[in-house]
Structure 1
């Protein structure tokens, strides 16, 4: 955990010093059109991050910056597409961590190599997950341990939804289930919002999902209650909600990151130009504020830091996925 905290501190410091990279970013205006590829549909969180970044890079790194939504196979199609485009700095992939750190353990065969087929550039943002419960759960249940105890006592209602089978929220929910001995039934959805609709309607008991997707449904304007968050510390978007660790669920600390990659084989010069431009873009106030609205914290990094983070998270999630025993069909 100390390595992760050190990484976070270094990355946060990088955001505070955009002037160091401004000169190099200005020199990076070397392409006419930049395509930012995402594996998710327009209007979603990943797509919105890409569009914020495209707006910030337009006129600096490239004359024109566009977003391409290559959807399908839970984000895999977009990654596969990077194998056939030139590594010249004109195509940039934005992907959640799951496709690189957990998919290798849940799919028998991927059509891409998370290391060889991609070249790390920079982090884009980080976020935590939370556990929300709905009207199926009594209002007397106010903590995660109380929910797990309630689920044990009412196995017919012991369930939780997640944005997708094999996603980080799915595995986080499984970890909570095991820690509390509750045997929660996992219900996968095509995104967090459909899960929250069924939660509000009383079809499922709980949802494990990104903080930014849960908060609009909680409080006085919603039917959901946020019981806990998955980060190492309380979320700045929900500071009143304790972490799982604070509630006695030790070692259940999970978060996720979106990051930016060039195709495999990109030269150090191309990576450096792109990294410099991205770090300036991610430090712009309009980008930081725009991502915060969705519960995302803008955060850049060096290419080497991103590569190290990917390696560490892959090593961490392998045993967890194996323990849960989930395999994608």
Structure 2
């Protein structure tokens, strides 16, 4: 009887060892992460604000992770191509996404056949920085604040055009909201990016936009554009003399919503890896030289942890979806 028990126990152990070893492999991989280069995917072309932010962060993360951190641009389709690529990548912490809000919020409403669902296919690592935006007009527009702009465009229906970097994006949301709320009639002119839009605004081909402080602040400083109001609850550090919409008496949600530039990972990336990445991003963003570089871009450093970034995303999402639905735009 005893021999039988010993034999059974020996057979059980022999069978269990491979299974236990297999279970230990993912844990060991997480503890040694990373063992090879990490990629940060940007959904837009090189040279834009998101790309610049990703490269600044990559330079700081590489020594912290002990591996190269490489930025790779996969642009197109309103951010869908790059976002979908990361959503479908192995959930091992080696392929990450640097994103602005649109591809992981507004696109849910805009596109009838979105190939990913950011709510279930991706998870937050950290909000790196808040990219502030500003309502700016061409100098030919006779307005010095938001109230006088509304009066100006109300007096000339269909004369003034609002540029955007795509249907459903923040400037388009503001344009639609203005027309619905105040009875104005403006034109929407979508571009494939903020750069081409800014060129046409400076040339007077369009008359106004809500654009990133990063892109527009140099032209505002040079007198080529006039800033009327910044979006968000506080003034932008890069434009301290420009009042918020709220300071001018306009406290609607569309004028107060600021969105972060965030680092995300495939949804099934292990908690241990996500937490490690979140801690390293937070530490990097808190380094004085990186904070200074972010502020020089017209953005405001955040560097929160995964749980905080997730909570912020869940709070931001319904507001963004409602504003996007209000535009009435859907795309194939």
Instruction: Give the CA deviation at 1:149.
Output: 0.7
> How far, CA to CA, are the matches of 2:115 and 2:185 in structure 1?
33
- Structure 1: 5+ residue runs without aligned partners? 1-26
- Which of 192, 195, 204 aligns to 1:193? It is 195
Q: Corresponding residue for 2:132? A: 128
Instruction: Give the CA deviation at 1:217.
Output: 0.9
Higher helix fraction: Structure 1 or Structure 2?
Answer: 2
Q: Corresponding residue for 2:83? A: 79
Instruction: Give the CA deviation at 1:54.
Output: 0.8
Q: Corresponding residue for 1:226? A: 227
| Aligned positions, number | 300
> How far, CA to CA, are the matches of 2:171 and 2:32 in structure 1?
37
Q: Equivalent residue of 2:64, what SS?
A: coil
Q: Corresponding residue for 1:306? A: 309
Q: Corresponding residue for 2:250? A: 249
Q: Corresponding residue for 1:265? A: 268
The structure whose RCO (Cα within 8 Å, separation 6+) is larger is 1
- Give the 3 Å change call, closer, same or farther, for CA 108–64 of structure 1 in structure 2: same
Is 1:296 equivalent to 2:308 in the alignment?
Answer: no
> How far, CA to CA, are the matches of 1:304 and 1:255 in structure 2?
19
Query: TM-score, normalised on structure 1?
Result: 0.86
Query: TM-score, normalised on structure 2?
Result: 0.85
> How far, CA to CA, are the matches of 1:135 and 1:239 in structure 2?
20
> How far, CA to CA, are the matches of 1:156 and 1:278 in structure 2?
46
Instruction: Give the CA deviation at 1:29.
Output: 6.2
- Which of 293, 299, 324 aligns to 1:321? It is 324
Q: Corresponding residue for 1:92? A: 96
Q: Corresponding residue for 1:49? A: 53
- Give the 3 Å change call, closer, same or farther, for CA 246–145 of structure 1 in structure 2: same
Q: Equivalent residue of 1:300, what SS?
A: coil
Q: Equivalent residue of 1:60, what SS?
A: helix
Instruction: Give the CA deviation at 1:148.
Output: 1.1
Q: Corresponding residue for 1:22? A: none
> How far, CA to CA, are the matches of 1:32 and 1:245 in structure 2?
48
- Structure 2: 5+ residue runs without aligned partners? 1-30
After superposing the two structures, state which structure 1 stretch, 316-325 or 291-300, moved more: 316-325
> How far, CA to CA, are the matches of 2:314 and 2:236 in structure 1?
25
Q: Corresponding residue for 2:72? A: 68
> How far, CA to CA, are the matches of 1:34 and 1:50 in structure 2?
12
The structure with the larger Rg is 2
